[in-house]
């Protein structure tokens, strides 16, 4: 395998040995700039920034600059590590989903702002299968299919929205669909591993809070790191 591109949240990777000897590299391109944590195995972008006190909100992430930076570094494929909320009562926090499709009813970013270029959005099948195999190899129980519903954020969803979305999707988040669309436009193989970090608003009696979501992300961090380590051991 060549250099693996990884896009993740800040908290998930804070304890990973994968980045222990990495160095930050500022990449500039026609879409903006991206800060990449570079090692001999991975090129990691923290989509919300590397400073928890200056968190980049979901709707402010420059997906085009991030993915162009990874492409310029020569990554062969990109794995998204995404935090999600469950839309189903039987999909509990602590579970991992490898989505095979997504829904978003809001505008997603594009690199083709002034040209009529039409793509059929999808997640890369080969990267998905490698994620599934990686999970099996390190004995992580992962759902091999699922539909991800992207909302624009940064606010959380209402109870009515969660109830409606649960009829069509399994998990909800704010970033994956945008990454998948831009990656496809740039011809970069991309798929995602999603940790379920909380139940969607209204699925449980207790109101959902950001504290609950953050606690869930921290709890699932080691699982996602194990999955990435296993992924790196799979032959192309």
CB-based contact 79:47 (threshold 8 Å): no
Answer whether residue 22 shows pLDDT above 90: no
Task: Answer whether residue 44 shows pLDDT above 70.
Answer: yes
Question: Beta strand 96-97 with 142-143: parallel, antiparallel or unpaired?
Answer: parallel
Q: How far apart are CA 39 and CA 44, in angstroms?
A: 8
- In this structure, are residues 44 and 67 in contact, taking their beta carbons and an 8 Å threshold? no
In the chain, the percentage of residues whose pLDDT exceeds 70 is 91
pLDDT in tens, 112-139: 877 667 788 999 999 999 999 999 999 9
pLDDT value at 68 more than 90: yes
Note the pLDDT tens digit of each residue in 212-222.
777 767 777 88
Q: Tell me how far apart the terminal alpha carbons of the chain are, to the nearest angstrom.
A: 5
Cα–Cα distance for residue pair 26/35, rounded to 1 Å: 5
Q: Is the pTM of this model over 0.85?
A: yes
The rounded mean pLDDT for the chain is: 90
Domains and CATH numbers, the chain: 4-232 (3.40.50.1580)
């Amino acid at each position: 395998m060549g250099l693996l591109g990884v896009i993740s949240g800040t908290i998930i990777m804070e304890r990973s040995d994968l980045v222990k000897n990495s160095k930050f590299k500022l990449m500039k391109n026609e879409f903006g700039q991206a800060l990449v944590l570079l090692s001999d195995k991975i090129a990691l972008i923290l989509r919300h920034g590397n400073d928890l006190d200056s968190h980049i909100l979901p709707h402010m992430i420059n997906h085009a600059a991030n993915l162009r930076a990874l492409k310029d570094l020569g990554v062969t494929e990109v794995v998204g590590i995404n935090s999600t909320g469950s839309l189903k009562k039987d999909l509990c926090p602590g579970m991992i989903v490898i989505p095979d499709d997504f829904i978003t009813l809001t505008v997603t970013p594009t690199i083709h702002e002034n040209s009529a270029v039409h793509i059929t959005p999808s997640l890369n099948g080969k990267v998905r299968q490698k994620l599934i195999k990686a999970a099996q190899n390190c004995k992580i129980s992962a759902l091999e299919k699922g539909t991800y519903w992207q909302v624009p954020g940064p606010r959380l969803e209402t109870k009515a929205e969660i109830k409606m979305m649960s009829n069509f999707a399994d998990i909800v988040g704010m970033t994956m669909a945008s990454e998948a669309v831009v990656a496809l436009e740039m011809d970069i193989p991309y798929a995602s591993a999603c940790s379920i970090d909380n139940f969607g608003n209204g699925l449980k009696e207790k109101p959902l809070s950001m504290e609950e979501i953050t606690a869930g992300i921290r709890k699932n961090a080691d699982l996602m790191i194990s999955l990435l380590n296993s992924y790196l051991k799979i032959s192309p």
